[in-house]
Each structure stands twice: as C-alpha cells, then as structure tokens.
Amino acid sequence: MLSKSQAKWFLILATVGFSFVFLFLTFDTIRQVDARTNADALTEEVEGGREIWDQNNCMGCHTILGEGAYYAPELTKVVDRRGEVWIRTFLRDPEAMFPGRRKMIDYDFTEDEITDVIAFLAWIGEIDTNDWPPEPNLAVPDSGGDAAAALANAPAMVGDVCQACHSVGGVGGNVGPALDGVADRFSADELDTWLADPTAVKPGTAMPNLQLDDVTRAELVEWLLSLD
Ligand code: HEC
Ligand code: HEC
C-alpha cells in the first residue's frame, strides 16, 4: 500500500512524466508530417481534387485515412487498388460499373475534374500510413493457370479494368468468374455480344457495360479466345 504522500507524488510524477511523453510524441509527429504526406507533391490538381472532395461531401459516405462514413468503400488506397483508368471509367458513369445497384452519385464531372479527383486520391494513397489499411484478402482461388503467360498479350484494358473484377491465372478480383478457360465456354460472337452489352444478354447481371468501342472489343475478344 502507498502512503498518502507516496500516492500524491506518484500521481504528480506520473502526470508530469506522461505529459512529457505526450508532448514529445506530438512534436515528433508534427516534425514528420511534411515528409510522410509528401507535401512537396501537392500540385494544383491535388488541391482541386480536394476542393471537389470537400464541396461534394464525399466523406458523407466514404472514409479516407480513418475519417468519414462507412456507407461506401474506404478510399485511402483506391488508386492502388483500382487504378486510374478504372476510377475514370467509374466516375464518368457510376451506374454503368454497377448495373442495377448504383448507390454512388453521378456527379457529371468533367474530364478535368475527374483528373483532379484522381490526383487527390493518388496523393492520399501515397501518404506514409505505416501500411494501413492492409491489402484486402480477395481469396481468389488459384486456377493453377500461368498468369504471366495468359496476360502477356492482354490489351491494357484487362489490367486496367477487367482484373478489378475477374482473375486470370489466379491474379485479379473475385466479383466475376475467373476468365481462365473462357474460350471453351463461349464463341467469338458470344463474347463480343456480351462485352457490348452484358445486360442485354443477362438482365440483372453485375457485369457493367463498359462502353467499349469496336476496336477495343475486337482486341479483347481475340485475347479472351486465347484463354483455353
Ligand atoms: C451517397 C453516398 C456517396 C457519396 C456522397 C459518394 N460516394 Fe463514392 N461510392 C458510393 C458507393 C455506395 C460506392 C460503391 C459502388 C456503388 O455501389 O455504386 C462508391 C464507390 C466509389 C469509388 C470506387 C471505390 C471502389 O473501390 O470500388 C470511388 C473512387 C468513389 N466512390 C469516389 C467518390 C468521390 C470522389 C465522391 C465525392 C465527389 C464520392 N465517391 C461520393 C457512395 C457515395
Ligand atoms: C465491375 C465488375 C466487372 C468488370 C469491371 C468486368 N466484369 Fe466481366 N463479369 C462480371 C460479372 C459479375 C460476371 C458474371 C456475370 C453473370 O453471370 O451474371 C462477368 C462475366 C464475364 C464474362 C463471362 C464469363 C463466364 O465464364 O461466364 C466474360 C467473358 C467477362 N465478364 C469479360 C470481361 C472483360 C473482358 C472485362 C473488361 C473489359 C470485364 N469482364 C470487366 C463483372 C465484371
């Protein structure tokens, strides 16, 4: 048991001691802010994106760096996770990317505004957060396929957009089926019709109409047919 005066001194010393620890940690954090946030990479585009972010209250639904709401996906590392092309395609028309279950607002952003938003999100993603949040475990089944070989001749669109939802050789997302062996399941015509407008083939499908032009579609079909 501490005597009364021992308890008093314990209280005083602990309070003073931990106040110093607290002040030191605060100082240490402030000292590192510029380096950890890449303050020198704050371009006009990043600031423009931040204004758009604030004005539209994106945080009313999304979280970045632990701040915000949990209605919609966490966006700290979204540029890493989705890539620029995917985000641009999505922001042009969020409903098209998630047919029938759109919850994200279509803001009618101009291309420049989208560039700013992506610059802002990319800057956020570069902040040194001690690797938080951790990479999601997508639990894509290993198809036993050879991802490098399958992707060697893939059009850019595949890595930029398709793999967000589909895996190839065990690499990619798990929203849609793995694309390995897709050539055994569909003909060139079927694949082309599917890519042109998935909902026309299968109403209610979660595969988006990506507004692919004829050339891109032909390239994709040719590549898909190599996956047998
Ligand atoms: C009303 C709520 C809401 C607001 C406000 C909102 N979003 Fe979203 N957002 C969503 C939802 C829900 C999704 C998930 C996709 C879907 O269901 O449409 C999403 C998805 C996204 C994604 C893709 C995330 C991923 O990993 O798939 C990005 C990027 C994004 N939003 C950016 C923004 C930006 C930038 C703003 C502000 C300009 C914003 N959002 C405002 C609801 C919202
Ligand atoms: C937002 C997620 C998403 C994106 C992006 C996406 N897909 Fe899909 N895809 C799906 C889903 C979900 C299905 C399953 C559809 C169903 O059965 O309703 C599917 C089905 C398919 C199928 C039929 C596969 C089978 O075995 O049944 C092909 C082929 C395909 N997608 C190709 C592509 C290509 C090529 C791209 C890129 C240009 C792409 N997808 C982008 C979600 C996506």
208 close to ligand 2 (CB < 6 Angstrom): yes
Residue 206: pLDDT band (50, 70, 90) is: confident
- Closest-CA residue, ligand 1 atom 25, reads 73
**Residue 112 shares a structural domain with residue 155:** no
Note the ligand closest to the C-alpha atom of 161: 2
166 close to ligand 2 (CB < 6 Angstrom): yes
Enumerate residues 6+ apart whose C-beta is below 8 A from 226: 150, 153, 183
Given a cut of 90, whether residue 205 has pLDDT beyond it is no
**Residue 58 shares a structural domain with residue 95:** yes
Domains in the chain, number: 3
Helices (H) and strands (E) in the chain, counts: 12, 4
**Residue 97 shares a structural domain with residue 163:** no
Residue 85 lies in a domain: yes
**Residue 64 shares a structural domain with residue 34:** no
**Residue 185 shares a structural domain with residue 213:** yes
Note the ligand closest to the C-alpha atom of 202: 2
Burial-class residue 58 by CB neighbours within 10 Å (0-12, 13-18, 19+). Answer: buried
CATH number, domain with residue 206: 1.10.760.10
Note the ligand closest to the C-alpha atom of 208: 2
Residue 101 lies in a domain: yes
pLDDT digits (tens, 9 = 90+) for 122-179: 999 999 998 888 877 666 666 667 888 888 889 999 998 999 899 998 888 888 999 9
Residue 109 lies in a domain: yes
Residue 33: pLDDT band (50, 70, 90) is: very high
Residue 180 lies in a domain: yes
pTM for the whole structure: 0.78
What atom in ligand 2 is closest to the CA of residue 185?
Answer: 26
pLDDT digits (tens, 9 = 90+) for 35-79: 999 999 999 999 999 999 999 999 999 999 989 999 999 999 999
100 close to ligand 1 (CB < 6 Angstrom): no
**Residue 57 shares a structural domain with residue 92:** yes
Q: How far is the CA of 73 from the centre of ligand 1 (A)?
A: 7
Domain span at residue 178 reads 147-224
Q: What is the CA radius of gyration of the chain?
A: 24
Task: Dump the DSSP string for 12-35.
Answer: HHHHHHHHHHHHHHHHHHHHHHHH
